[in-house]
Amino acid sequence: MLDGTCLDLWHEILQRLHVSGRHPKVSCILEVNWHPPPSSCLKVNTDGATFGSPGLTGCARVFRTCRGFVKGCFAIPLGVCFAFGAELAAAIYAIDYAWTFDWRRLWLESDSTFVVDILRSRSRKVPWRWRTA
């Protein structure tokens, strides 16, 4: 249990970091279950995140086998861009990483339906920053 002095110190640290003590109420909690890919595929879960719009962004991905074993994972800071750019970068880097290691059968999972639509349709509607990738 924290004593009053320790709580005062935490309160001061949070104030200096501009962290409010009031958190918004969660509107909905969803259960998410991991589903394995077919035995001949690797599944890669990608995610991009941004702090602001635009803001500092980063992306990460985790490669797993059909039995759930982690085959590889990494995270990359991207600088300043929008959330869509972070999601797209996560998918592009995941595909590039898989290609480098000769993993040709890939099941890509993304939070962004727009990214999935772009990849599925092989659209040229990719932001200029990511077009060459």
The pLDDT of residue 55? 84
Tens of pLDDT, residue by residue over 18-56, are 776 666 777 787 787 888 888 889 999 888 888 877 888
131 contact partners, CB below 8 Å, separation of at least 6: 124
> Could you confirm whether domain 42-131 is CATH 3.30.420.10?
yes
Q: Where are the domains of the chain?
A: 42-131
Provide the edge-to-edge strand list for the sheet that holds 70-81: 70-81, 55-64, 42-52, 106-109
Tell me the pTM.
0.68
Write out the chain's pLDDT in tens, 133 residues. Answer: 445 566 677 777 777 777 766 667 777 877 878 888 888 899 998 888 888 778 888 888 899 999 989 998 888 898 888 888 888 888 888 988 899 999 999 998 888 888 888 888 876 666 656 666 6
